A and B are shown apart, each in its own frame.
Chain A
Amino acid sequence: MAHESFQTVDGEINWNAPMYRLYEKAKKNGKWNPADIDFTQDKMDFDGMTEDEKITSMPLVASFSAGEEAVTLDILPMVYAMARQGRLEDTMFLTTFMHDEAKHTEMFSRWQQQVGVGEMELSNFHSDSYKRIFYEELPGSMERLNVDDSPQAVIRAATVYNMVVEGILAESGYHSFREIFKKAGLLPGILQGIDYLNQDEGRHLQFGIYTIQRLCAGKDENLKVFHDYMDELWPDAFGVVEYLTSLYDVQMAQDWTNSSLDFDSEAMKKYAKRQFDIRKKQVDRVKNFNNAQELDEQLVKAGTV
């Protein structure tokens, strides 16, 4: 596609664009380096854990590493769509987004390598629900943007990527990892990495919420696209959490299991459901605005971005 003009030649960057402000935040706050995280204690902890305790961490690690790899590879169509639509500030923000996801993928892979499970085949921990979301829906809705970047297609892509994968599953994953290992006083390195990740994900969620909202402001039919897709994906999103908690429950129900790890499955499922409700509510706040411009002005005024 040939360029007809350039924003920074005709004028300048829109310094007040919400996504430009988020880009500034990303540059400032996203400076951590996965290679700087010290996993020595993690290695010692892991070696000292019983086989049963080790295996408890495997489904989570298998979900995280595939999840981060998937979002690293699948963000490209969104970047391309924003660039094609001339959304310079959004595109600039997304360059930091991509870099963040690459670091997240690196972080988990480094951890696996350093505690000695790098070569392990873990795909058996991906349930049918997990596969439906990460192997099919996510790449499907993202790749759709290559041929269709209509508001509806962008909303669906941001819904599965930012709201479901990041907003429900990643959030629930961090939560369960902390619940299990922070409480047990184990694996400080990966827990620190997860804190960094969590901060990055906060920005990614802001991108998702903003992108969906600006396309839904004053357009109820688009807001319905978001809610319908969330509802459609929810059974599998919940299925992912249910599978992980059920594995833990089965493990703990066996009389031979030698584990001092403690985890509340029911609370975890409730936590995931709460994330689902929160994401819907966050996007629904767009009902207060008649159009995208009002939304932008309010975001800047409130200092949300």
Chain B
Amino acid sequence: MAKNYVKPSMQEVFQIIDAAVKTDPSVTKGKEGVYQFNIKDEDEGTYQLIIDENGPRTVEGAEQDPYVILTLKADHFRDLVAGDLNPTAAFMGGKLKIKGNMGLALKLQTVLNSFDF
């Protein structure tokens, strides 16, 4: 079973997040900003989680100027979303690089924690 388990692609992961944040916009209240994820290595790409007056959503590519940029590997991002790794530990362990607004980066975990993926 586990052998045949196909990891969701980054595109799929961001679609899941997009659906989740739209289901309950109250979770992202007070966390307004543009979070950019630079995914490295396998499944490379740039994605954004945008939380603004138009409601929370994710997009592929750099649609807006990011407030904070998080650079990490696809597998670490999957762990982050699954709750198996938290951003603070990832940062302290060198698995996550952060540029820009650190306060917003701290709030990311609260956003991710609010959903069961």
Contacts and interface: CB of A to CB of B under 8 A. Distances in A.
Interface residues of A, number: 19
Nearest to B109: A256
B103 A55 contact: no
Nearest to B108: A254
Contacts of A125: 102
Contact of A55 (B88, B94, B97, B113): B88
A55 B98 contact: no
A124 B103 CA distance: 11
Interface string A127-139: 0000000000000
Contacts of B15: none
Contacts of A124: 97-100, 102
B23 interface: no
B106 interface: yes
Interface stretch (A150-158, A170-178, A204-212, A245-253): A245-253
Nearest to B69: A124
A115 to B, nearest CB: 11
Given A121-B97, A254-B110, A256-B109, A51 B88 contact: yes
Nearest to B100: A124
Contact of B106 (A119, A120, A251): A251
Given A256-B86, A256-B110, A256-B113, A246 B103 contact: yes
B92 A51 contact: yes
A173 to B, nearest CB: 17
B40 interface: no
B92 A254 contact: no
Given A254-B107, A256-B110, A120 B94 contact: yes
A254 B109 CA distance: 9
A168 to B, nearest CB: 22
Interface string A235-271: 0000000000011001100111000000000000000
A208 B26 CA distance: 52
B89 A51 contact: yes
In the complex, which of the residues A55, A59, A125 has the most CB atoms of chain B within 10 Å of its own CB atom? A55
Nearest to B68: A124
A52 interface: yes
Contacts of A251: 106
A59 to B, nearest CB: 7
Interface string A107-124: 000000000010111001
A120 B88 CA distance: 13
A260 B109 CA distance: 19
Contact of B102 (A59, A121, A256): A59
A214 B82 CA distance: 64
A22 to B, nearest CB: 39
A51 B86 contact: yes
19 contacts: A51-B86, A51-B92, A52-B88, A54-B92, A55-B88, A58-B92, A59-B102, A117-B92, A119-B94, A120-B94, A124-B97, A124-B98, A250-B107, A254-B106, A254-B107, A254-B110, A255-B113, A256-B86, A256-B109
